[in-house]
Amino acid sequence: MFGGIVALGLSTLSAHYFLADKHERPEKMGYAIAGVEPEGGAAAAAVVEPIANRLAKADAAKGEAIFAKCKACHTIDQGAANGIGPNLWGVVGDARAEGRGGYAFSDSLKSKTGKWDFASLDEWLTNPKKFADGTKMSFAGLSDPMDRANVILYLNSKGSNLPLPAPEAVPAAGAAPAGAAAPVAMVGDAAKGEKVFAKCMACHTIEQGGANGIGPNLYGVAGDAIAEGRGGYAFSDALKAHKGVWDQATLDQWLSGPAKFAQGTKMTFAGLTSAQDRADVIAYLNSKGGKLTLGAAPAAAPAK
Ligand code: HEC
Ligand code: HEC
């Protein structure tokens, strides 16, 4: 199921860091094979707020409700039995894959030595197989960053009670979460964007008058109304629910994670995790009949 997404190997990089240094990014970008629905929030990785900020507004009661998904395999109360997965009492701050009443952990998770701090739990719960590729935890992950924060806060309330990390300062500009604000500021290179667009060509044409395929023809889409026209292309209700035009910021959000932008979209594409790739492909789209004036947004100061 994970195909190209697994290759992304974000496990050791926070989303934050990832955006901060595009040169460090893995060579292989994560995008789904046509027709394969992304799962486990892989696409969301590039746009999440830092865990400290999410924990500051998290709710343990909501986390308890989310924990219903974990109960098929885990108990949480002190002294409760191990099941398919280990009992999780006091797991926050505890050593990874150790103790837990002699639970037989996979070698894969055992090789991830260290303690379960908030950040590593956040990574783990985003996509367990990405964190430890041979893990026994056959759970796709929680794609919603707030779901993860809520459940981590709940775990912390069960036998750990570690102090929460201080929230990081994030740029105020734009409604988008911290990670998403920076990429908008990037000025893309249309020639590079044309190469990135190879990933889109399975579903889209771009030349004027090109036929609609799995997705609509994209000539002139930059600056055009969202999910309208395009030779009568049958858009999903999810995308149609978004009013307005495809401006630079909106395109950037969409291409970061289509399913996150419009839950229920027909575009089964995990998203472009690299902010530079998004900026480049947006510049390319704009060069094909687009109406946008692309530029650097003023508020692109590093999130510190
Ligand atoms: C389908 C069964 C299953 C589900 C559902 C599941 N887990 Fe697990 N979990 C496991 C297994 C199996 C392991 C041991 C992994 C290994 O050894 O590779 C594990 C390990 C863990 C660990 C590491 C424990 C340690 O001591 O290192 C944590 C934390 C955890 N799970 C949290 C969760 C949370 C939170 C959820 C729900 C959001 C969840 N799990 C859902 C089966 C599951
Ligand atoms: C697997 C097929 C597929 C791939 C790959 C794909 N798309 Fe799409 N795209 C679609 C579909 C289907 C829609 C219509 C979505 C809907 O209606 O929910 C769409 C819609 C869009 C729209 C909105 C068009 C409008 O008029 O509102 C844009 C912009 C877009 N895609 C850009 C891209 C770019 C850029 C890439 C590559 C980085 C890409 N897509 C990759 C299938 C795909």
pLDDT of residue 233 exceeding 50, the answer is yes
Using alpha carbons only, give the angle 145, 279, 232 rounded to the nearest 5 degrees: 85
Question: 47 falls in which pLDDT band (50, 70, 90)?
Answer: low
192 Cα–ligand 2 center, Å: 19
116-159 pLDDT, tens digit per residue, is 999 999 999 999 999 999 999 999 999 999 999 999 999 999 99
Question: 48 falls in which pLDDT band (50, 70, 90)?
Answer: confident
Distances (CA, A) of 204 to 199, 252, 283: 9, 17, 16
Q: In whole angstroms, give the CA distance from residue 48 to residue 13.
A: 13
Higher-confidence residue: 43 or 192? 192
Q: Which pLDDT score is estimated for 304?
A: 35
71 Cα–ligand 2 center, Å: 37
Q: What is the mean pLDDT of the chain?
A: 81
- Please enumerate, as own/partner, the contacts of 221-230 that have beta carbons within 8 Å and a separation of 24 or more: 221/246, 221/285, 221/289, 221/290, 222/246, 222/248, 222/251, 222/282, 222/285, 222/286, 222/288, 222/289, 222/290, 222/291, 222/292, 223/247, 223/286, 223/290, 223/291, 223/292, 224/290, 224/291, 226/250
Q: Which pLDDT score is estimated for 168?
A: 80
Average pLDDT over residues 221-225: 95
Question: Which atom of ligand 2 lies at the shortest distance from residue 277's CA?
Answer: 38
Name residues contacting ligand 1 (CB within 6 A): 69-70, 72-74, 84-86, 88, 91, 96-97, 100, 105-106, 108-109, 116, 125, 132, 135-139, 142, 151
Higher-confidence residue: 181 or 150? 150
45 Cα–ligand 2 center, Å: 19
Q: In whole angstroms, give the CA distance from residue 116 to residue 302.
A: 27
Q: Report whether 226 contacts 245 (CB < 8 A).
A: yes
